[in-house]
Structure 1
Amino acid sequence: MDALKALLNNDDRFCRYNGMRIDVLRLGYAEAVMDITENSLNGLGIAQGGSIFTLADLAFAGAANSHGFRTVGLNSNINFIRPGVGRQLRAKATEVSRGRRTCVYRVEVFNDDGKIVAHGSSTGFITEEKF
């Protein structure tokens, strides 16, 4: 798990550049965090929706790849519930279903107060390629 965590945190250049990182990683589950900075805000002064979606996608990547096979996203959806404000956002991805070639994860994003900011789901395609 440590090697996968390091790989995702180092090799996902977009997330690294935007201050996102995997914080917790275990089989079928991951948490990713993003510090809210001036660069992650939209014109209303709240976390930009794309940054929230990317954070959720990073958590999905950690959880889906935790089984040791390269997994890529097939479909994702997200519902924004409240503004992304505070110091940090945390996305949690939890495995719902995992088959031979596809998997489904529930993803939720929370603010500093533990209030839900967004929720959605991501479906992945599991390749035969091992890490």
Structure 2
Amino acid sequence: MSEELRTMLQRDRASAMLGMRVVVDEPGHAVVSMPVRDDMTNGFAITHGGLVFALADTAFAMACNEDESITVAAGADITFLKATGAGQVLTAEARRRTRSGRNGLYDVTVTDETGDVVAEFRGRSLTTNRRLEE
């Protein structure tokens, strides 16, 4: 894990609050897991879709920030395929599909603890001219 990514993750209070843990951090590839707590479910006792999106977005952010430049999301969409609930562990695996100039395309698959696919996320990145400051 590069120093920039470590700093980025250390400053990410939202991911920390949600209990996310980085399992793999490589250029263009990241795996992040998150246990689902009772307070992460909606009125139907299903994991809130926004939190599934947040997990996928964190893996996407880790994968696309692969050098010294700050890269941000230009857009993203998600397809929910399976409901989950409290007590389960979700894992998001992000992979770079392509990167051209300042633009990138990344796919993220979210699975549950059994390996079943919960959601598919596609993120579009934009590399800025900014550098992460310590």
* TM-score strictly above 0.5: yes
User: Which residues of structure 1 form unaligned runs of 5+?
Assistant: none
Correspondence for 1:114: 115
Offset, 1:31: 0.8
User: Which residues of structure 2 form unaligned runs of 5+?
Assistant: none
Post-superposition CA distance 1:2-48 (Å, at most 9, x none): 53443243211111111123221111000111111112111111211
Correspondence for 2:77: 77
TM-score under structure 1 normalisation?
A: 0.92
Q: Does the CA contact (< 8 Å) of 1:8 and 1:22 recur in 2?
A: no
Runs of 4+ aligned residues of structure 1 deviating over 6 Å after TM superposition are none
- Secondary structure at the aligned position of 1:62 is classed as helix
Measure, in 1, the Cα distance between the counterparts of 2:110 and 2:81. 10
Q: How many residues align?
A: 131
Measure, in 2, the Cα distance between the counterparts of 1:69 and 1:5. 11
Which segment drifts farther, 77-86 or 7-16? 7-16
1:90–1:8: structure 2 CA closer, same or farther, 3 Å change rule? farther
Offset, 1:64: 0.2
Measure, in 2, the Cα distance between the counterparts of 1:5 and 1:24. 12
- Secondary structure at the aligned position of 1:104 is classed as strand
Offset, 1:98: 0.5
Measure, in 2, the Cα distance between the counterparts of 1:39 and 1:3. 32
TM-score under structure 2 normalisation?
A: 0.90
Q: CA RMSD in A?
A: 1.5
